[in-house]
Amino acid sequence: MGVKRIFELYALYAKMDLAWLLRDTTFAVLAVVTDIVTNLSAVAGVFLLAWRFDGIGGMARFEVLFMLAYASIVTGIFQVFCSGGNTGHISRRIGRGQLEHMFIQPVPLPVGLATEGFIPFSGSSNLLSGIVIMVVAIVNLELTLPWWWVLSLVGNLLVSFSIVLGKAYFSSSLAFYAPVQAEEISTFVVDTFGHISTFPLSGMPVGLQWTLITVIPAGLLAWFPTLVLFGRAPFGLAGWYPLAFAVGLWGVALYFFRKGLRFYVKKGINRYSAMGHRR
């Protein structure tokens, strides 16, 4: 399947998303405003702490704000590309016996997973508000940035997003074997990582910092890349460490997901729920 077809699928799902959002004007306005207010409220709590104490753990006020904006953008990218049809929270589809919906569609499974979750209108509030907050932070930091800094920022955002998605698919492999118990495991993993990633780890015990960039890599979703972008990579690690971690994580995630999928194809799941399926 060519690139042109993939973009046609993105256009199709974008059209469906816009139609769903605009089916009721009042609902559309309330949905957008509610999402923006919720995101700003989540950011405000940590930023007000940083403002009250003139920074947190060696990070200045607006460095903390930049980190919060970074986390919001990562969450926003996940929502835009992976929230439709539970393609990001794939354990829901597996656990509900809905993966067969994708088997009968005239597109390969990887292409369906990559495109079906695209909701650029109803899912863009975190992304847009995160971009605005980041611009405010950069202006107040008065940074002199080289031309390649924006490319580095985009690259780090994509790596952080891939870590979130990799953890979701790695954990979702359990749903092939325990569909009822693990139906919501990807939701729990993604949400928990998102909550932890909004707290600056600077000033925390070194052992905890190492844990949160290795075993539980929540620190790689905002804190570590923020310091890398400011030229202060923690523990003297290379700036490409999150990329190396993401590659390793995806290698493990793909191995276990494919293994679980083979089990699913052979054994099936004696369960079906229409909940969550876009009809």
Question: Does 25 score more than 90 pLDDT?
Answer: no
pLDDT-derived band at 68, boundaries 50, 70, 90: very high
For residues 32-36, give the mean pLDDT.
81
Q: Is 211 helix (H, G, I), strand (E, B) or coil?
A: helix
Q: Poorest-confidence range of 177-186, 196-205, 235-244?
A: 196-205
Angstrom distance (rounded) from CA 131 to CA 69: 7
Q: Does 62 or 46 have the greater pLDDT score?
A: 62
The three-point CA angle 67-249-188 to 5° equals: 65
Compute CA 132 distance to the chain's CA centroid, rounded to the nearest angstrom. Answer: 18
pLDDT-derived band at 46, boundaries 50, 70, 90: confident
Q: Poorest-confidence range of 37-46, 104-113, 201-210, 260-269?
A: 37-46
Nearest to 189 by CA among 78, 106, 108: 78
Angstrom distance (rounded) from CA 111 to CA 226: 32
pLDDT in tens, 201-258: 887 888 888 998 998 899 999 999 999 999 888 888 888 999 999 999 999 999 999 9
SS3 readout for 85-104: HHCCCHHHHHHCCCCHHHHC
Domain locations in the chain as residue ranges: 3-267
Q: What is the DSSP string of 6-71?
A: HHHHHHHHHHHHHHHHTTSHHHHHHHHHHHHHHHHHHHHHHHHHHHHTTSBTTB-HHHHHHHHHHH
